[in-house]
């Protein structure tokens, strides 16, 4: 079997708050992420989801254990990992197209040369089309709805061609209908581009619809409780997939597991 793209072994992370009040955010976390997987992480608030994402992104240090990507230790951020946050983080003074092209400024081809202006334009146009923003190339973020802004952020993340895309509740701020639309678009983009995705959500239905693998985390300290293979729900997936008996079965199982943890915490 091929080696995992990302290997997380026995990771522990403690936030030093005040003497005696340290927060063990992660303890004994082991996880393999394979190429082209769509991994969704669910779990109660405070179980360390964002901490884990930030560690993979190289934005946060860990105290012990190891995190490797392509066999090399993750010691900081790098172009092989792109992060998309809940709050779009677009440059307000740049148009949609300029926002998408911005990251490509630093992008190099496999042979080490830079992309020409024409090539960057072509890539930006491709992603503008992919995320259904044709006609809005020259709009500014303030002229866009929340859903459109998040589409720009997703296009920008994909345009720089990282191996892994890390998303922290990217649809958390959107209304239900827009969220459903963006889920379908993201599924299509994932099926077209086959990138590895690590996606945090607190929405169990979203996790079951999008992922090939579901990671359930528990809190105090943050640990991985269970990893579920979710490839037995057929593709292509759309909102109608929620009617599939396998979807219902998996959703009920994940819900039940998460709910039992909630009851444990309340005790």
Q: Which stretches of the chain bind ligand ADP, using CB under 6 A?
A: 15, 17, 23, 25, 43, 45-51, 222
- The nearest distance, CB 21 to ligand ADP, in angstroms, is 9
CA distance 77 to 59: 6
- The nearest distance, CB 75 to ligand ADP, in angstroms, is 19
CA distance 73 to 234: 35
- The nearest distance, CB 34 to ligand ADP, in angstroms, is 23
CA distance 229 to 213: 5
Nearer to ligand ADP, 51 or 130 (CB): 51
* Residue owning tokens 């190339």: 137
In this structure, the strands spanning 6-15 and 64-69 are antiparallel
- The nearest distance, CB 216 to ligand ADP, in angstroms, is 12
Contact 92, 140 (CB under 8 A): yes
Nearer to ligand ADP, 41 or 133 (CB): 41
Contact 145, 157 (CB under 8 A): no
Nearer to ligand ADP, 117 or 264 (CB): 264
Nearer to ligand ADP, 180 or 224 (CB): 224
């Amino acid at each position: 079997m091929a080696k995992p793209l990302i290997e997380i072994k026995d990771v522990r992370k403690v936030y030093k708050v005040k003497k005696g009040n340290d927060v063990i955010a992660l303890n004994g976390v082991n996880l393999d992420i394979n190429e082209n997987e769509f991994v969704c992480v669910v779990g109660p608030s405070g179980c360390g989801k964002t901490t884990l994402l930030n560690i993979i992104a190289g934005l946060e240090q860990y105290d012990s254990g190891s995190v490797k990507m392509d066999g090399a230790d993750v010691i900081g951020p790098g172009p092989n990992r792109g992060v998309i946050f809940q709050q779009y983080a677009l440059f307000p003074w740049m148009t949609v197209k300029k926002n998408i092209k911005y990251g490509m400024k630093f992008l190099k081809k496999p042979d080490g040369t830079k992309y020409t202006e024409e090539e960057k334009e072509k890539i930006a146009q491709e992603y503008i089309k992919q995320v259904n923003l044709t006609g809005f190339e020259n709009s500014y973020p303030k002229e866009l709805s929340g859903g459109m802004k998040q589409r720009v952020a997703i296009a920008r993340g994909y345009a720089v061609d990282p191996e892994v895309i890390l998303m922290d509740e990217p649809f958390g701020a959107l209304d239900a209908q827009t969220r459903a639309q963006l889920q379908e678009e993201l599924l299509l983009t994932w099926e077209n581009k086959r990138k590895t995705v690590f996606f945090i959500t607190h929405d169990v239905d979203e996790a079951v619809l999008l992922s090939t693998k579901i990671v359930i985390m528990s809190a105090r300290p943050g640990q991985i409780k269970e990893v579920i293979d979710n490839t037995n729900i057929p593709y292509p997936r759309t909102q109608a997939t929620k009617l599939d008996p396998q979807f219902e079965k998996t959703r009920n199982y994940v819900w039940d597991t998460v709910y039992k943890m909630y009851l444990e915490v309340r005790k």
